[in-house]
Amino acid sequence: MKIESKHKVDAAFSMSSMTDVIFLLLIFFMLTSSFITPSGLPVNLPSSKSSSIIMQKVSVTITKNLQYYVNDKKVSKNNLEMTLRSAFEGKEGLVVLHCDETVPVEHLVHVAGIATALEAKVSIATKPAR
């Protein structure tokens, strides 16, 4: 005589709760991650005691070889103003300067003067002091 159970256990596993957890974790990590776009160019930034994090609008990098880059695109010193003017079209004027610590101050002042003439705010990128 064979006795059969009325309640059979289903061996299938529901993945819906697992996908909910994965999506919640994904949203959590997206919201808590920093929204900074680091400059991909090798520049030794000077250190500062008060280093704040801001959203970059336009990034200007001056390397130790005195090469100018606007948003990671190489630009000559003569075309810098025209490139910055076209980068500000329809955007808030905010320039983040990434200058190598060995660059003379006159080059930094040159870029800051152009940005100020275009009515843009200027911020200097630094690394935190240890």
State the distance between the two ends of the chain, measured CA to CA, in whole angstroms: 81
Q: What is the pLDDT along the chain (130 residues), one digit of tens a residue?
A: 677 777 777 777 777 888 899 999 999 888 877 665 555 666 666 655 655 555 557 888 888 888 999 888 899 888 888 888 888 776 677 888 888 888 888 988 898 888 888 888 888 887 776 6
Tokens linked to 9: 């256990």
Tokens linked to 79: 């075309």
Please compute, for residue 121, the number of CA atoms within 13 A of its CA located in the half-sphere on the CB side: 8
| Residue 59 to residue 111: CA distance in whole angstroms | 11
Neighbours of 114 (CB within 10 A): 20
Q: What's the pLDDT at 25?
A: 92
Q: What's the pLDDT at 46?
A: 60
Domain residue ranges in the chain: 47-128
Q: Evaluate whether 61 touches 96 at the Cβ level (below 8 Å).
A: no
Q: What's the pLDDT at 87?
A: 82
Q: What's the pLDDT at 26?
A: 92
Tokens linked to 12: 């299938």
Please give the backbone phi and psi of residue 49, each rounded to the nearest 5 degrees, phi first: -70, -35
Fold of 47-128: Nucleotidyltransferase; domain 5 (3.30.420)
Please give the backbone phi and psi of residue 27, each rounded to the nearest 5 degrees, phi first: -65, -40
